[in-house]
Amino acid sequence: MNKDSIITADDHPLLLKGLNDFLIEKKYNLIGSGNNGKEAYQLIVEEKPDIAILDIQMPHMSGLEIAMTCKANELKTKIVLITLHKERELYQKAQDLNIFGYILKEFALEEIENCINTVSKGDHYFSPKIVEVLADESPRDRFLRDLTPSEKKILNLIAKDKTNKEIASLLFISYRTVEKHRSNIIIKLKLEPKTNSLLMWAKEHHKKLK
């Protein structure tokens, strides 16, 4: 039996029951369970579990908000998040908050034992599938996340062979504003400014700009 005390929380009753039944069957030390973020945080404060396995999205408090609050209050419970999301932004937030485990919901029961055993030793566990998905993202795809909505609109129009003058007219902005946006985009995407690289990049990636 793993001696580390564990609490769980998920606002989906069937998923919560499935996780709890699995932990009990595997003889983990499950000491409490909540149906929303508020209940989960209260359990952490009152029971001081070694590990809290939380759904990332719950009413009242999300898993990330719980982790943030625990960090602010110097609570030592190690947070493990179960999520459907593979976005880099959420993954980065989890790392910034020193979250110990990050598991995709679709693989939760397959990975939870390995995750708990890893976290129990004080190490971090991030679902290999998430790491794999993010590793497949090209460097320029990552730069794409830094573009503003206006810059993405301009890139879409560039991909349609619109001139700066036409873009200015369509977006009701000045010609100089379009030029400034183009310059910023080139810098963000690390493109060569004196070539048609921006046009080529826009045409290649226009589907990702929508």
Distance CA 60, CA 66 (A): 10
Q: Which residues contact 12 (CB under 8 A, 6 or more apart)?
A: 55
Say yes or no to pLDDT of 47 above 90. Answer: yes
Over residues 183-193, the pLDDT tens digits come to 999 888 888 87
The β-bridge partners of 79 are: 52
| 89 and 67 both lie in a single domain | yes
Domain boundary among 135, 154, 184: 135
- Tell me the mean pLDDT in the region 115-134: 84
Shared-domain flag, residues 7 and 81: yes
Tell which phi-psi region holds residue 33, choosing left (phi > 0), alpha (psi between -120 and 50) or beta: beta
CATH code for the domain of 154: 1.10.10.10
Give yes or no: residues 19 and 111 share one domain. Answer: yes
List the end-to-end C-alpha distance of the chain, in Å, as a whole number: 50
Structural domain total, the chain: 2
Q: Which of 16-25, 34-43, 198-207 has the lowest mean pLDDT?
A: 198-207
Average pLDDT for the chain? 87
**1 has pLDDT over 80:** no
Judged against a pLDDT cut of 80, whether residue 132 lies above it is answered with no
Are 172 and 127 in the same domain? no
Same domain, 101 and 177: no
DSSP letters for 146-184: T--HHHHHHHHHHHTT--HHHHHHHHT--HHHHHHHHHH
For range 40-63, the mean pLDDT: 95
Same domain, residue pair 90 and 25? yes
User: What's the pLDDT score for residue 140?
Assistant: 53
Evaluate if residue 88 carries a pLDDT over 90. no
Higher pLDDT pick, 45 / 97: 45
Name the domain boundary from 135, 167, 182: 135
What pLDDT is recorded for position 7?
98
**pLDDT score, position 194:** 67
Domain boundary among 135, 155, 171: 135
List the domain range (segments joined by +) for residue 185.
140-209
pLDDT band, residue 133 (cuts 50/70/90) = low
pLDDT number for residue 127:
86
